[in-house]
Structure 1
Amino acid sequence: MGEFAFSRSNLPKQLIINNEYVESRNSKKLTVHNPKDGSVVADDVPLAGEQDVDEAVAAAEKAFPAWKKTPPALRRNMIMKFADLIEKHGKELAELTRITLGAPYGSFGAFENQLCAETLRYNAGWCDKFGGESYPQEDGFLKIVRYEPLGVTAGIIPWNAPIGNVGLKAGPALATGNCFILKPSEKTPFAGLALLPLIKEAGFPPGVFQVLTGDGSTGALLASHMRIRKVSFTGSIPTGKRIQEMASKSNLKRVTLELGGKSPAVVFDDCNLDNAVTWCVNAITGHSGQVCFAASRVYVQEGVYDKFIEKYKTMFAERTKAVGDPDNESTILGPLADDSQFDRVSGFINRANEQKSGTMIIGGSRIGEKGYYIQPTIFTDVAIDSEIHTQEIFGPVAVVRTFKTEEEVMKISNDTEFGLMAGVFTQDINRGLRVASEFESGMVGVNCMSMMFNQAPFGGNKQSGVGRESGIAALKAFTDAKCSSGFERGGGAGGLDDYLMVSTREADGDFHLGFVT
């Protein structure tokens, strides 16, 4: 297929293997719904099975030797062109996502497509700049480290950002010379399946970039496949644990896991109040709270608590008015992703009220009679051991507590198995940096919250993840470091002493010796 021609009336429903659209060998199909009204969008989305995965892996293995040796400038140009095409067809891709995710274009779709394009461009720029290292040879050995591609790699991505995650995972994989298999979420398959015309127009050879839709069974096939060398996964902690287990039990493939969060925002008395409130509201209501690093725990020092909660509640009320049909350009917040997500979030709210886990001061109810809309919700005076305080809800639900001292709030902030994001709001730069260093999280915002950057590592501590995405950390995660060392024997002219003996540790663990002049 040539020109991009997909829309909600012409949905892509075939797998992408070896630069062709192919029917799934598996007879099972996926059904997807529109969350704005619960209607069926399609009941015939392909679910890739074992044979499909094997075919994609075989095509990737065949493509890998030539792709690995493709000059960096050519790889760069292909990835850059792919980014341009993502940007060019951003509205169409966003619509293909919106019909099963419910994310408005103005407040999320445009941002997500731009994130994907810019992340691809950032990684493309590394193609001819990702250098290795050398170390001093005073001990008589010259030691050279190269970062080499792993081979066939895979990205298993979540439903809440199906195009943004293409940039985060395919970008560094392709830039470092790996072949890549994308597995979109079963909830949001269409944008990924629509990529073939863009993949081909960008110039990627067959087998380099492929797309397999499916559910958890497809992800398990990828995670346990003996010839896939790396899986990068974004999603829930329980699924991440299963993927790590399958990876270790198969071929000990490399794993990057970006998992859940229960991110604390700590607001001190001396903060810029309007700034703190704005960041804390945006970081829990954005994308209807369906974000891994949402500011779901807010701790406010006693001296500013009354003013903070008044402004915080007012902004939540404004966000509630902005909930609506995601197809309307003026809508800021859409529905939750599907019925199971709606039931999950509603369940947390209902149990908190039944168990008197806190005081619900706004929200908590369904909006309308159809679709999966819910009011942004605030609980105050929350019990520290309650599930709404300790568990990830993944919806527009915030819990708020007061605190007296820095020591007290840091203990509460870190008393969790989550460690993805944290934020501190204060005008005291010394305290801001001190608190930032004490948070047990992969990322910290000082007077800001829930941010990520292409240049900097993105990921979590504790059970919030393993490894890092973005920046040079992502490139290293898709490569193996190979150390070559040479010993200069020195000596007379002619003969062996004039040669450099080179010892290279290959991926199989064996040393291979050779001599060069």
Structure 2
Amino acid sequence: MSVQIDALTEEYFSSGTVRGLPNKLFIDGNWISAISGEEIETIDPGLGNVFAKVSAAQTEDVELAVNAASKAFKEVWKDFKPSKRGEILAKAADLLEQQSDLFAVVEALDTGKPLAEAQGDVSSSVGALRYYAGCADKIQGDSFPLGDGVFSFSSVEAVGVTAHIIPWNYPLATTIRGVAPALAAGCTAVVKPAEQTPLSALMLAKIFEEAGLPAGVYNVITGTGKNAGSPLVDHPKVQHITFTGSVGTGTLVMQAAARNISSVTLELGGKSPIVALADCDLEKTAEGVLWAIFYNAGQICSAGSRLIVERSIHRKLVEKVVEKTTQLQAGHGLRNTNYGAINSKEQLDKIDSFVQRAKSRGIKCLCGGHPISNEATGKGWFYAPTIMDDVPMGDELVQEEIFGPVLSVQVVDSVEQAGEAANCTDFALAAGVYTQDITHALKLAHEIDSGQVTINDYWAGGIEVPFGGNRKSGIGREKGLEALSNYCTTKSITMSFS
């Protein structure tokens, strides 16, 4: 670890907090307390202790933020030189990289994930800022060949004020994933981070401010979904909503957007399959399965939560995965372990309820299957990495998103059955295929209904690759050049010379 991380870690464990954390709303370039004066607590999942407090915004605070964003869009940002927008985003990327240790420590504390995972989140966020910085001056229209003395062309313009509702599992990365293309396109943003993980969005405000972003272009309102999130997505001045979260809440967001005819990008639930065919590399597949489900303790929308395996290799592959699973070491995120905490007690209880019901139905638990505590402290919210074997297709372990470290194994007898099993849920976010046969790989990639399919490397891809789901997994795509279309509208202009 770096000297700064060591110092921040020592500071945290001796004082119970980190100095200088933001605790107010960021609206129109100013740090202000919520009008009500109310606050919400931020809890370290690794210990179950409160380590910070932030302002709790309500409707009147949301009104201030949206009006500031609307004013900044009309008066400053929509006509800002695109190359200058790119320069600001690039400067923000440099500043974030320079402060990466601080961001990683705070992200680990806020989410409960291991420090190494938090460092990866910060690094990918830096990359996302740089990617969209390079896009800012490359958003352009087209011309249409009408002939007969008529000239027709299109202008690509920013939609206006955008709302960003951020989840608690990847607060920094998800904020930047939406905000960076929005700002590059000329939109302004109001961000509502999850109440469990409010700090990185606020810290990012300091980065943007130092990078020279005009006041009102980026605003952050912390608070609950009911008091801050709902009035934000209901606001008539919000032209686009980017939401990542549950299907139930996503449905409500879409209903709110419909009332104002606002567009939406929804990244919702997942129950993503990993298909392991008989000819796969067992060692590589086992390693891929391990991290597909147990990275961030399974708290990932696109986690590989279902292993669909051909019967001939079922026992050998599952035994390898179980062996690797027993080597995971749970502990506080700042203690350099490789397996972190569950973000909240509520989520921990939800995960355990799924597993206990499955056991009562007679489904075999190969490992885990119960809450655990931090061995060093006896505190925190942890769940043992769990593998449930030979789960029937219609079982809730297969059909419902658990959002935790629970792998459900489905056994099939052919490539055709594997494809059917992969598509057996209402979700269609991600999928992985492990095989040495390129024909089978491409056949399954074509047949599996999902927003993205990876072959022989579950987490392959990056900011350059469009990401999103089909069916109940969402609408629209984030990342890549395609994400820019969320924040743009096309205007056609036609002129006659006759």
TM-score bracket, normalised by the shorter chain, equals over 0.9
Match of 1:326 in 2: 333
Cα deviation, 1:436-462, whole Å, max 9, x if unaligned, reads 011110000111214442222100000
2:237 equivalent to 1:231: no
User: Are 2:474 and 1:485 aligned?
Assistant: no
Distance 2:37 2:412 in 1: 57
Q: Is residue 346 of structure 2 the alignment partner of residue 346 of structure 1?
A: no
Distance in 1 (alpha carbons) for counterparts of 2:396 and 2:148: 58
Give the aligned partner of residue 143 of structure 1. 152
**1:165 is matched with which residue?**
174
Shift of 1:11: 2.5
Q: What are the Cα deviations for residues 404-430 of structure 1, in whole angstroms up to 9, with x where unaligned?
A: 112212112112110000111111111
Letter in structure 1 aligned against 2:223: G
Asked whether the equivalents of residues 419 and 442 of structure 1 are also in contact (C-alpha less than 8 Å), the reply is yes
Q: Say whether 1:77 aligns with 2:87.
A: yes
Please give the root-mean-square deviation of Cα atoms over the aligned residues, in Å.
1.6
SS at match of 1:137: strand
Q: CA deviation at 1:366?
A: 2.2
Greater shift in the superposed pair: 142-151 or 171-180: 142-151
User: Is contact 2:389–2:408 with CA below 8 Å preserved after alignment?
Assistant: yes
AA partner of residue 89 (structure 1) = Q
Counterparts of 1:305 and 1:139 in 2: how far apart (Å)? 67
Aligned ranges 1:288-299 → 2 under 5 Å: 288-299=297-308
Matched AA of 1:317: T
Shift of 1:355: 1.9
Confirm or deny: 8 A CA contact 1:20 1:196 kept in the other structure: no
User: Is 1:355 aligned to residue 348 of structure 2?
Assistant: no
Of stretches 155-164 and 26-35 in structure 1, the one that deviates more from structure 2 is 26-35
Task: Name stretches of at least 5 consecutive residues in structure 1 with no aligned partner.
Answer: 490-517
What are the residue-to-residue correspondences of 1:58-137 with 2, within 5 Å? Answer: 58-65=67-74, 66-106=76-116, 108-137=117-146
Q: Which runs of 5+ in 2 are unaligned?
A: 1-7
Asked whether 1:470 is paired with 2:479, we answer yes
1:31 aligns to 2:44 (yes or no): no
Q: Secondary structure at the match of 1:132?
A: coil
Which of residues 178, 189, 198 is equivalent to 1:180?
189
User: 1:494 is matched with which residue?
Assistant: none
Paired position in structure 1 for 2:5: none
What pairs up with 1:242-391 in 2 under 5 angstroms?
Answer: 242-249=252-259, 251-319=260-328, 322-328=329-335, 330-356=336-362, 358-368=363-373, 369-391=378-400
Judge conservation of contact 1:8–1:95 (CA < 8 Å) in 2: no
Q: Which residue of 1 aligns with 2:201?
A: 192
Which moved further from structure 2: 80-89 or 130-139? 130-139
Q: How does 1:407-446 map to 2 (within 5 A)?
A: 407-446=416-455
Judge conservation of contact 1:115–1:167 (CA < 8 Å) in 2: no
Question: Of residues 230, 234, 254 in structure 2, which corresponds to 1:220?
Answer: 230
Deviations, residues 272-309 of structure 1 (Å, cap 9, x unaligned): 22111111111000011111111101011122222211
SS at match of 2:122: helix
Which residue identity does 2:367 align to in structure 1?
Answer: I
Structure 1, 457-466 or 308-317: larger mean CA deviation: 308-317
Q: Matched residues in 2 for 1:307 and 1:434: separation?
A: 25
Q: 1:185 to 1:440 in 2, by over 3 A?
A: same
Deviations 1:81-105 (A, max 9, x none): 1111111111212222222321121
Contact 2:393-2:424 at 8 Å conserved across structures: no
In our comparison, the structure showing a higher alpha carbon Rg is 1
Provide the C-alpha distance between the structure 2 equivalents of 1:278 and 1:156, rounded to a whole number of angstroms: 33
Tell me by how many angstroms 1:465 deviates. 0.5
CA distance in 2, matches of 1:28, 1:243: 25
Alpha-carbon distance between aligned partners in 2 of 1:97 and 1:423, rounded to the nearest angstrom? 28
Structure-2 separation of matches of 1:349 and 1:269: 28
Aligned counterparts of 2:465 and 2:424: Cα–Cα separation in 1: 26
Distance 1:280 1:145 in 2: 46
> Do the aligned partners of 1:298 and 1:398 also contact (CA within 8 Å) in 2?
yes
- 8 A contact 2:240–2:264 mirrored in 1: yes
Q: Provide the rounded CA distance (Å) in 1 between the counterparts of 2:265 and 2:148.
A: 36
Distance 2:480 2:111 in 1: 28
d(CA) in 1 for partners of 2:337, 2:393: 35
Distance 2:410 2:163 in 1: 41
Letter of the 2:60 counterpart = Q
> What amino acid maps onto 1:363 in structure 2?
G
Report the equivalent of 1:499: none
The letter for the 2-side match of 1:364 is G
| CA apart distance, 1:26 | 2.6
Match of residue 492 from structure 1: none
Give the aligned residue type for 1:171.
A
Paired AA for residue 272 in structure 1: D
Q: Distance in 1 between matches of 2:408 and 2:129?
A: 36
Amino acid at match of 2:233: A
- Which among 383, 402, 409 is matched to residue 400 of structure 1? 409
Residue pair 2:398, 2:425 contacting (<8 A) in 1 also: no
Aligned partner of 1:240: which letter?
G
Find the residue that maps to 1:327 and give its secondary structure.
helix
Q: Give yes or no for contact 1:295–1:450 (8 Å, CA) kept in 2.
A: no
Q: How many percent of aligned residue pairs carry the same amino acid?
A: 36
Q: Give the count of matched residue pairs.
A: 478
CA contact (8 A) 2:296 2:339 kept: yes
Query: What is the letter of the counterpart of residue 365 of structure 1?
Result: H
**Do residues 47 (structure 1) and 53 (structure 2) align?**
no
What's the secondary structure of 2:157's corresponding residue? Answer: strand
CA distance in 1, matches of 2:187, 2:425: 36
Q: What amino acid sits opposite 2:356 in the alignment? A: N
Structure 1 residue 139: Cα displacement: 6.1
- Deviation per CA, 1:64-120: give whole Å up to 9, x if none: 1321111111111100011111111112122222223211211x1111011111111
C-alpha contact (below 8 Å) 2:47/2:332 kept by paired residues: no
Partners of 1:87 and 1:286 in 2: CA distance: 23
